[in-house]
Amino acid sequence: MMSGLMAVTGRVDAQEGRRAIGSAIRGRVVDERSGRPVSGVVMSLEGTDILVVTDDRGQFRMDPVAPGPHVLIAAHVAYAVRTDSLLVPAAALLEVAVPLATEAIELEELVVEVRSPVLERRGFYDRERQGYRGTFLDRSEIEARNPETVTSLFRNMPGLRVVYGGIYGARVFMNQRVRLLDENLPGCEPQLWLDGVRAAMVTYDLMRAEEIEGIEVYPGASAPGKFNDICGTVLIWTRVPINR
């Protein structure tokens, strides 16, 4: 059983938003007492013609949904009707968990999570949930840090150092010394992947922070699948992906 209202910002810029077909609501309906999924629940948005029914796993999806305030209604013959107020962001996937009670009692708050469609498609949230040994920054965390440059986002990250100066400008290194071609380097330079493609960008400051939707940093050989590199890995996902 889930409790408490939770909202995670996942905004998409205007250009990306124009490419998306509205917003979407995805969720799962469960029995409040047992936590088991409830099928056959009629889910609707008040004042609209949107109406869907939950499947055998209690899951449903509403797509597209106009951004803005909505009232979500869950109705089933064996349960009390439940209504919840939602604020749907523009061009975003809103995930909800809806517990139903058999009696008309005061219900728990709806659990809400807003995700970036860009990071959803790229597997960012799956890797974060699976517990890979990495550091994850989504768009809201990038904005909260208010970085002057892209490399400044990597300052104070565990196992990393940012070195300034030289003809290339600021560069990011892992605090480990493996496979070094130049013993004068202050550490091992991680492999950079830009929108899923191996990149040879010498300094990340060739990009602007406002272009980035998410960052993943993996020390040593801890990155998943093809991204794994003995010297560490940096994944950068842009807001308007370069590789589609």
pLDDT band with cut points at 50, 70 and 90 for residue 13: very low
Q: What is the pLDDT of residue 226?
A: 92
Alpha carbon separation from 104 to 79, 82, 224 (Å, rounded): 8, 9, 47
Q: Could you give the percent of the chain with pLDDT greater than 70?
A: 83
Q: What is the pLDDT of residue 192?
A: 95
More confident residue, 159 or 109: 159
pLDDT band with cut points at 50, 70 and 90 for residue 169: confident
Q: What is the pLDDT averaged over residues 225-236?
A: 92
3-state secondary structure of 69: strand
pLDDT band with cut points at 50, 70 and 90 for residue 42: very high
Whole-number average pLDDT of the chain: 84
Q: Domain limits of the chain?
A: 14-115, 119-238
Q: What is the pLDDT of residue 88?
A: 92
Q: Which residues of 46-66 are buried (b: 16+ CB within 10 A; e: fewer)?
A: eeeebebebeeebebebeebe
Q: What is the pLDDT of residue 14?
A: 37
Q: What is the pLDDT of residue 175?
A: 77
More confident residue, 193 or 103: 193
Q: Could you give the percent of the chain with pLDDT greater than 90?
A: 59
Q: Summarize pLDDT for 44-78 with one digit per residue, the tens.
A: 999 999 999 999 999 999 999 999 999 999 999 99
Q: With respect to CATH, is domain 14-115 assigned 2.60.40.1120?
A: yes
The Cα 244–Cα 242 span in angstroms is: 6
The Cα 7–Cα 187 span in angstroms is: 38
Q: What is the pLDDT averaged over residues 23-45?
A: 95
Q: What is the pLDDT averaged over residues 199-212?
A: 91
0.85 surpassed by pTM: no
Q: What is the pLDDT of residue 181?
A: 52
Q: What fold characterizes domain 119-238? A: Ferric Hydroxamate Uptake Protein; Chain A, domain 1 (2.170.130)
Q: What is the pLDDT of residue 178?
A: 58
pLDDT band with cut points at 50, 70 and 90 for residue 16: very low
Q: What is the pLDDT of residue 62?
A: 96
Q: What is the DSSP letter of 232?
A: -
